């Protein structure tokens, strides 16, 4: 469930676009008069954009671009700075474009961010991946498969390519005999290609049944078999698929905890998860976080961030509960 707090009476997209333009224009007037860079009215930007859903933001963007012969995303990029800029500029993209942007940064970085690429790809449904591939081609100028091929290697590459290209059944029905056969085969110990085939070809319903069947048949979690038989980025990818099937909320709560634990904050992960899950299941993620770690996600984000960046993320997270 979404954590966005949208006002009961929503201004029109034209009104929102006008107020955003005013925030930028006032910033420019101040700069001209005082000759100092005081920045735009960030509070107005947060009050509007952080309290509109993706469809409403898209309408605002279209209205702004048409009315002012400007591009809202570019204007935000030029006016804002740092992690606040990264979070807002990711938020004003439509959902599939957000994933495409994160993947582009991960796959085309000087040093490939294997975990970020894996986290995005292996936590998306077949329908989401089909849309993502289309948007990636349009926005990034290359096929997603091409960039995966160029940036990754070995069995990890085979897993990611198989996961984005295989058409998996998305219904609830399962073949319990096939589930049992998969469980027995995994318990005997198989090579990497077997794990890749199972994890890229089987439906979410099948994998969910496999998790419970494996434990009931052999008295241990399927995760143990993965850790025993695989390693490195392949193991990380298989575990990501498994954990997303088991409980997406706990999976993302763990990623958020890891991003904020220890020295420094992994702001890229923090931004990606909060921005892409705020409209989907952030309420469940927040519940999983407090149940597992004894403090609210809002409290954790508040202690690890600052300024308008903090305000924006907290606005997306909704009330502290």
Q: What is the mean pLDDT of residues 195-203?
A: 97
37 pLDDT band (50/70/90 cuts)? very low
pLDDT of 56: 97
pLDDT tens track for 128-144: 999 999 999 999 999 99
**Domain spans of the chain, in order of start:** 13-80, 95-165, 176-246, 248-317
39 pLDDT band (50/70/90 cuts)? low
pLDDT of 262: 81
CATH class of 13-80: mainly alpha
Cα–Cα dist 80/33, whole Å: 20
pLDDT of 268: 95
CATH superfamily of 95-165: Annexin (1.10.220.10)
35 pLDDT band (50/70/90 cuts)? very low
248-317 and 13-80 share a CATH fold: yes
Residues 129-148: b if buried by 16+ CB within 10 A, e if exposed: bebbbebbeeebeeebeebb
Paired tokens of 267: 């702001």
Model confidence at 80: pLDDT above 60: yes
**Mean pLDDT across the chain:** 94
CATH code for the part of the protein at 176-246: 1.10.220.10
pLDDT tens track for 48-69: 999 999 999 999 999 999 999 9
3-state secondary structure the chain: CCCCCCCCCCCCHHHHHHHHHHHHHHHHHHHHHHCCCCCCCHHHHHHHHCCCCHHHHHHHHHHHHHHHCCCHHHHHHHHCCHHHHHHHHHHCCCHHHHHHHHHHHHHCCCCCCHHHHHHHHCCCCHHHHHHHHHHHHHHHCCCHHHHHHHHCCHHHHHHHHHHHHCCCCCCCCCCHHHHHHHHHHHHHCCCHHHHHHHHHHCCHHHHHHHHHHHHHHHCCCHHHHHHHHCCHHHHHHHHHHHHHHHCHHHHHHHHHHHHHCCCCCCHHHHHHHHHHHCCCCHHHHHHHHHHHHCCCHHHHHHHHCCHHHHHHHHHHHCCCC
Q: Which fold has domain 248-317?
A: Annexin V; domain 1 (1.10.220)
Give first-to-last CA distance, the chain, whole Å.
Answer: 14
pTM confidence score: 0.92
pLDDT tens track for 204-255: 999 999 999 999 999 999 999 999 999 999 999 999 999 999 999 999 999 9
Paired tokens of 220: 């241990």
């Amino acid at each position: 469930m979404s954590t966005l707090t949208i006002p009961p009476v929503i201004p029109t997209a034209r009104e929102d676009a006008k107020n955003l333009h005013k925030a930028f224009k006032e910033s420019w007037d101040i700069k001209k008069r005082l000759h100092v860079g005081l920045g735009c009215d960030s509070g107005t930007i947060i009050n509007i954009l952080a309290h509109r859903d993706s469809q409403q933001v898209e309408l605002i963007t279209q209205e702004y671009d048409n009315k002012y012969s400007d591009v809202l995303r570019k204007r935000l990029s030029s006016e804002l700075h740092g992690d606040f800029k990264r979070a807002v500029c990711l938020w004003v993209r439509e959902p599939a474009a957000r994933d495409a942007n994160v993947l582009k940064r991960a796959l085309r970085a000087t040093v490939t961010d294997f975990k970020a690429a894996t986290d995005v790809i292996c936590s998306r449904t077949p329908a989401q991946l089909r849309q993502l591939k289309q948007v990636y081609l349009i926005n990034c100028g290359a096929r997603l498969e091409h960039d995966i091929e160029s940036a990754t290697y070995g069995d990890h590459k085979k897993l990611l390519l198989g996961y984005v290209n295989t058409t998996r059944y998305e219904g609830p029905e399962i073949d319990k005999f096939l589930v049992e056969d998969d469980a027995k085969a995994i318990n005997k110990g198989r090579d990497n290609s077997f794990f890749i085939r199972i994890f890229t070809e089987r439906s979410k319903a099948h994998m969910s049944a496999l998790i419970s069947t494996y434990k009931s048949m052999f008295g241990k979690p399927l995760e143990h078999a993965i850790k025993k038989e695989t390693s490195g980025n392949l193991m990380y990818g298989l575990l990501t698929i498994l954990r997303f099937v088991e409980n997406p909320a706990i999976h993302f709560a763990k990623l958020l905890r890891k991003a904020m634990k220890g020295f420094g904050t992994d702001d890229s992960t923090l931004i990606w998860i909060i921005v892409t899950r705020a409209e989907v299941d952030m309420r469940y993620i927040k519940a999983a976080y407090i149940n597992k770690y004894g403090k609210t996600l809002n409290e954790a984000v508040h202690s690890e961030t600052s300024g308008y960046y903090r305000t924006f993320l907290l606005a997306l997270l909704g009330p502290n509960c």
